[in-house]
A and B are shown apart, each in its own frame.
Chain A
Amino acid sequence: MKEKKSFGNKVLDYIKGNPIVAMLTVVSIIVGMTVDNFFSWNNLSNLISNTAIRFIIALGVSGCLITKGTDLSAGRQVGLAACLSGILVQRADYSGRLFANLPEFNMFAALLIVIVLGAVIGGINGLIISRLKVPPFITTLGTQTIVYGLCLVLTNAQPIGGFAAGYTKLITGRIGDVKSFNLPYLLFVAIFFGFLFWFLYNKMRHGKYMYAIGGNEIAAEVSGVNTAKSLTLIYITAGIMYAIAGWLLAAKSGGASASMGQGYELEAIAGCTIGGVSTTGGIGTVSGVLVGVLVFELLKIVLQFLGVNPYYNYIVQGLVIVVAVALDIRKNIKKK
């Protein structure tokens, strides 16, 4: 057992352990060699920007999944945060303003406001789940609908545009030149949150408690973990992450509407699961979440470059989710 593994063997082990990731990498390389512009700075920065926001959402949802819960309200929360951010930062001189009497907010003030809102919604989710013991699936199914309703009421189903110039510019900004080497600012935002969550999950009590609750909630409670408090904090953290993602998304898109963020919860859950977050609780890493989300985004771009009819995308994505989880579970069965 103690034999030293060569680099080649390690690579082989990784491929065996993560066949979907390996397969997709190979497909990408093939596509890259046969299709023009696949390996381009532009495409890379596109991939990074798309991945960054979804990574932030997936980080939020990962805590819920690790504690055997889920959060179906993620996407709609992103949408609400995007709309509210949009409303707050609309230019004072923009003719289509939704709330004409509202002052134009500083973009960071807007961020703060949506974060507070996200924390409140997450807190409500968390309290219902941890105190009233309503299963997370049902709780967040309910809040998903409520949040969407709030968003429709708030926006009156109108699209929101006319953002203050600095807002869009900052979020879509990049280091370097669009045509050649460039790295979008969003990359650094994603790295920051990735590191923050790694620290939270590995170096703080909160993370250990989270894994313990996922491993055996009653045992965690008996060991002195205030499970209700931990769970509430996990859903609050999740809400905050959705809010930040929504704020980023509105700026990246240059506009917002109530339909924004629809289905993002499923993409985030899929990304986490592909990345090895176990559906039976107690297992999951930040790096895994990143890989999972990246794989999913890469898959979308590959399909796009191959010129596949976008309607087929959903079919392929769905298959990848099921196959990835089936393979993951097989891996665990074999260990028995």
Chain B
Amino acid sequence: MSRQQAQKVVVAIITAVAALVVIPIILVIAFIVIQGIGAISWEFLTTMPRNGMREGGIMPAILGTVLLTFGTFIACIPLAIGTAIYLAEYAGENRLTRWVRLAIVNLAGIPSIVYGLFGLGAFVLFMKLGTSIIAGSLTLGIMTLPVVISTAEEAILAVPQRFRVVSLSLGATRWQTIRHQVLPHALPGILTGVILGLSRAAGETAPLLFTVAAFYLPDLPASLFDQTMALPYHLYVISTQVPDMPVSIQYGTALVLLLFVLSLTLVAAIVRTRMRRRREW
């Protein structure tokens, strides 16, 4: 076999393997959409579950996931943006910076179930918040930090150096420069990171298990210190813990969760493309 023939054969194999990765992804999405679309109705989205969750809707789970996503946002934003600014604008090439970076890399690698254990030990028990929306939001918030930090740092670094130089030369302080010149231009990039982080948090189940999630609640949560149902945990419950569960409700719940998470990812992608198009430098 000549080299040219070998080239052709290998490229064909590589293409086939790439297809082997991509096609199942498309099939999985299509399968869930096809199986789940029939279950989705206005009633399914807006009513309480009935008859041991075998009938009715999944409204409390949707509401819980929205609440938790919002709580995660509040919990992770200040620290994430602060750290991104620190790394992009203040941190020098020294041991401390290396440690901070190492810490972030490790935060990104800690398994989600270990975050769940931490949330249980730190927020639920030690801070006595109980299994509550606030404990779950804090747990998810910390888990989301690394994603947001790394995207936000990149966005801040992408702002051209001359913006800073001009601002500083006009007598602005370092913080004024960051606040009025750097952050406004980095905002779309930061937003992309935040939304991406939130989409990951919204789909997580393991950190919720011991910090917030309820098997079934007859009432909606009344305060931040209540438990709540949540879509990912609800899907887990109805697919394994409830006997005689109608398949259509299972697929319907999976589809709603998938749409919620992927629409967040899509919003992030749109923000990113618009930002690239509008960029003036």
Is B truly associated with A? no
